[in-house]
C-alpha cells in the first residue's frame, strides 16, 4: 500500500494548504484524460484517497496514529462503538454516504466545453493553426483555488466535527439504528469557510477571456472534433480543468466539392476545343495546373490529377482531384457560323436529325437494304 504522504509528495509535517496545493498540482498531471500511462487511473484514485484523508484533520490524526488507509480511529468511526458496523447495514435505507465515507471534497473537476469553428476548404486540405479568444472559467489567481481569502483558513464544522455527516439514533421495528445524514451546516464538506475569497465569491474560480491557439490537422472534415485536454472550464475549489472540444465546419467552395478525400470540379469546354483538342489552365490549391483536353473529348469525361486532393487524416498521401468536362454546344449562331457547320456536316456525311451512334447507323443500313429490295 502506498503511503498517503508519498502519494502526494509532501512531508509528514506539511500544512493543510501545502497538501491542497500538492494535490492540485499532481491531479492535473495524473488525470486519466491527460495522462496516457496504463496505471494513470489507479494513480489518480490513490491520489484522491490520500487527499481525502490528509486534508481532513481528524482523519489525518487517525492515519498518523493507526495507519488506517481510510483515516478511521481504532474501534470504529470517530471512536464510537456498538453501532459502527450495525449502522452500515441500514445506511442504504436511511440515507447518508456511509459512516466511514468522510467529508465531501470542495475540489471538483471542471466541465468539458464545446466550441464550433468554421474553416475554408483550403485549410481542410493542408491543415492550419487557429487562434481564438474565448470566455471560460479559470482558477482564481487571488486565492489559488482555495476559496478562502488569502491569509485565512477554514474552521472545522462544530456540528459534524469535520466528518461531513451527522449520525442520529432512530427507533424502528428492528430496534435502534443509526441514521447518517449530510451535515446541513457545512454541506458535507466538514469545514466552514468563514472568510471566503471576495474575488471568486468562495468558488475558487472566476470567468475571464483568454486566447487559445490550436492546430487543425490536414484532412479534417465537417463534423470532426478536436479534443484539447485541460482547456475546458476550471474546476471548483481549484479542481483540474475539463477538456475543450472544437467541432469543425467547412465552408462551401465556389469551385471544388469534397467527396471523401477527393476533390471534384466541373470545367466547361467549347465544342470546337473539345473537337480539336486543347490545353486549358486551371487554378488549384497547389497552383496553376495545365489540363490536356484530347481531340474528340465528350461531355462527361474526367481528367484525374493524382495526389492533388485532400490529405488523408489518418495516414500519408492525398486524394485526387477529378475534373469533370462539360462540352458546351453553342446557342445563338450567325448565318456564317451555321453555313460553316453545314459544311462540316456535309464533309462528315452527317444528316441533320439523325444520330451518329452505332445503333442508328445499323437502322440506316437496314432501311437502305429494304429500299433496295
Binding residues for Zn(2+): 140, 143, 157, 160, 183, 186, 197, 200
If you write DSSP's letter for every residue of 133-188 in order, what string do you get?
Answer: EEEEEEE-TTTTTS-B-TT---EE-TTTTTSSEEEEEEEETTEEEEEEEE-TTTTT
Rounded-to-integer distance, Cα 204 and Cα 139, Å: 6
Rounded-to-integer distance, Cα 205 and Cα 199, Å: 9
Which cell numbers in the block locate residue 127?
Answer: 491543415
Instruction: Of 368, 299, 286, give the one whose Cα is nearest residue 327.
Output: 299
Rounded-to-integer distance, Cα 373 and Cα 231, Å: 90
Measured between its terminal Cα atoms, the distance across the chain in Å is 109
Rounded-to-integer distance, Cα 316 and Cα 309, Å: 12
How many other C-beta atoms are found inside a 10 Å radius of the C-beta of residue 74? 9
Q: Which residue ranges are tagged as binding site? A: 140, 143, 157, 160, 183, 186, 197, 200
Which cell numbers in the block locate residue 298?
Answer: 465528350
Which cell numbers in the block locate residue 195?
Answer: 472568510
Q: Calculate the CA 1 to chain-centre distance.
A: 36
Rounded-to-integer distance, Cα 31 and Cα 42, Å: 10
Amino acid at each position: 500500500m502506498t503511503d498517503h504522504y508519498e502519494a502526494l509528495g509532501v512531508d509528514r509535517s506539511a500544512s493543510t494548504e501545502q497538501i491542497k496545493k500538492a494535490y492540485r498540482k499532481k491531479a492535473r498531471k495524473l488525470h486519466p484524460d491527460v495522462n496516457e500511462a496504463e496505471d494513470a487511473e489507479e494513480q489518480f484514485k490513490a491520489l484522491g484517497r490520500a487527499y481525502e484523508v490528509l486534508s481532513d484533520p481528524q482523519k489525518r490524526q487517525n492515519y498518523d496514529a493507526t495507519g488506517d488507509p481510510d483515516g478511521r480511529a481504532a474501534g470504529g468511526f470517530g471512536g464510537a462503538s456498538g453501532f459502527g458496523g450495525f449502522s452500515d447495514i441500514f445506511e442504504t435505507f436511511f440515507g447518508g454516504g456511509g459512516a466511514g465515507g468522510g467529508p465531501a471534497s470542495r475540489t471538483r473537476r471542471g466541465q468539458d466545453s464545446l466550441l464550433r469553428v468554421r474553416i475554408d476548404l483550403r485549410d481542410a486540405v493542408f491543415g492550419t493553426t487557429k487562434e481564438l479568444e474565448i470566455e471560460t472559467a479559470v482558477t482564481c489567481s487571488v486565492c489559488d483555488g482555495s476559496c478562502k481569502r488569502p491569509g485565512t483558513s477554514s474552521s472545522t464544522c462544530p456540528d459534524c466535527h469535520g466528518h461531513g455527516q451527522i449520525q442520529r439514533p432512530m427507533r424502528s421495528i428492528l430496534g435502534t439504528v443509526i441514521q447518517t445524514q449530510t451535515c446541513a451546516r457545512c454541506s458535507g464538506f466538514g469545514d466552514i469557510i468563514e472568510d471566503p475569497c471576495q474575488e471568486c465569491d468562495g468558488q475558487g474560480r472566476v470567468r475571464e477571456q483568454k486566447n487559445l491557439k490550436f492546430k487543425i490537422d490536414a484532412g479534417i472534415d465537417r463534423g470532426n472534433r478536436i479534443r484539447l485536454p485541460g482547456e475546458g472550464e476550471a474546476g471548483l475549489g481549484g479542481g483540474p480543468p475539463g477538456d475543450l472540444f472544437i467541432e469543425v465546419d467547412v465552408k462551401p467552395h465556389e469551385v471544388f466539392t469534397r467527396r471523401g478525400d477527393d476533390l471534384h470540379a466541373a470545367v466547361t469546354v467549347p465544342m470546337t476545343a473539345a473537337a480539336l483538342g486543347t490545353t486549358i489552365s486551371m487554378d488549384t490549391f497547389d497552383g496553376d495546373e495545365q489540363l490536356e483536353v484530347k481531340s474528340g473529348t465528350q461531355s462527361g469525361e474526367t481528367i484525374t490529377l493524382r495526389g492533388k486532393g485532400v490529405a488523408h487524416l489518418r495516414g500519408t498521401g492525398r486524394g485526387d482531384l477529378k475534373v469533370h468536362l462539360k462540352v458546351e454546344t453553342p446557342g445563338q449562331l450567325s448565318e456564317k457560323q451555321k453555313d460553316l457547320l453545314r459544311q462540316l456536316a456535309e464533309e462528315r456525311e452527317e444528316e441533320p436529325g439523325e444520330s451518329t451512334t452505332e445503333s442508328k447507323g445499323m437502322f440506316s443500313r437496314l432501311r437502305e437494304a429494304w429500299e433496295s429490295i
